[in-house]
């Protein structure tokens, strides 16, 4: 049986809210905090009785916690909730565990790890993949950067909402792995959009085309999960283009620092920018299809 721990979760968005629910249902003592009180209120209404405590700020959330987990927006958000005047590291105890699931730069992940080392806190950067569906089902994949002992200290809690936990390497490595993941996703969904429009323009039976090509080398998660919805012009499936552009921006910046050329990622980032300009920034990434008009401009 998993040891019951005091776990504080900061950031109750689409992914974070589902993760927090799994943590409480696994038997841990859950404290929650979100910068928007309205989101906290909605989470409580949807999950009555699961939260043991509602924190007033990140430092309050970390008070007496064994494990603190963050899932926020970007580098600045993470720096504020962890290193700010009312941040987690003001109160997290020696020997405590800090897990960050935000997709951020490797730079901020490394900075936080240095601060954690000085405080004698276990620290890992653990961005995730698996989509909103994976968060709801508790089947996420976590890419972990940090010391091996820190990953092992975090593992018993992370197992409540993930099916795969991979220790990639030192601090920041989890974020680098996530960047590689996003580069692959962007390429897959952009190619899939072109294939969908190509098949539509040829007036083929789209179900038959999918049946024919999905069992071979063209198969991908994007094809299996988005072929039908893209054909039907449905684009409300979680991970938004706005967020993908943020992630690709991190990848391109890291690539420049490494001296690595990422021409395909840079091009697809501009494709996503076109959809943003059309007002589609909050649609999911498969809405990249919208930049490719149907035959006849429909």
Q: Which residues form the catalytic set?
A: 178
Residue with tokens 């240095």: 114
Six-digit token pair at 215? 């069992």
155, 121 contact by CB (below 8 A): no
Cα-based distances in Å from 63 to 32, 39, 59, 130 = 12, 22, 6, 31
Across the chain, where does the E strand assignment appear?
6-10, 29-33, 53-54, 67-70, 97-100, 122-125, 128-129, 140-145, 162-169
Say if residues 150 and 93 touch (Cβ distance below 8 Å).
no
Q: How far apart are CA 278 and CA 267, in angstroms?
A: 17
């Amino acid at each position: 049986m998993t040891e019951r721990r005091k776990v504080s979760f900061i950031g109750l968005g689409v992914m974070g809210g589902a993760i927090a629910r799994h943590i409480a249902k696994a038997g841990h003592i859950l404290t929650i905090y979100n910068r928007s009180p309205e989101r906290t209120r909605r989470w409580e209404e949807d999950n009555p009785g699961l939260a043991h405590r509602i924190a007033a700020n990140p430092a309050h959330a970390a008070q007496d916690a064994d494990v603190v987990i963050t899932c926020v927006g970007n580098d600045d958000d993470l720096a504020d909730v962890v290193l700010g005047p009312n941040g987690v590291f003001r109160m997290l105890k020696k020997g405590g565990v800090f897990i960050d699931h935000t997709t951020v730069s490797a730079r901020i992940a490394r900075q936080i790890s240095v601060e954690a080392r000085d405080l004698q806190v276990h620290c890992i950067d653990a961005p995730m993949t698996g989509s909103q569906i994976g968060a709801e089902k508790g089947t996420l994949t976590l890419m972990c950067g940090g010391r091996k002992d820190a990953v092992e200290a975090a593992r018993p809690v992370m197992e409540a909402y993930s099916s795969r936990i991979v220790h990639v390497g030192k601090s920041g490595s989890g974020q680098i792995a996530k960047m590689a993941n996003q580069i692959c996703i962007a390429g897959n969904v952009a190619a899939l959009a072109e294939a969908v429009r190509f098949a539509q323009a040829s007036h083929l039976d789209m179900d038959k085309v999918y049946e024919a090509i999905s069992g071979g080398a063209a198969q991908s998660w994007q094809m299996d999960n988005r072929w039908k919805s893209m054909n039907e012009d449905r684009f409300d499936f979680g991970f938004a283009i706005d967020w993908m552009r943020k992630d690709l921006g991190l990848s391109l910046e890291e690539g420049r620092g490494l001296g690595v050329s990422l021409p395909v990622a840079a091009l697809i980032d501009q494709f996503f920018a076109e959809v943003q300009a059309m007002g589609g920034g909050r649609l999911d990434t498969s809405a990249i299809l919208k930049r490719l008009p149907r035959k006849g401009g429909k």
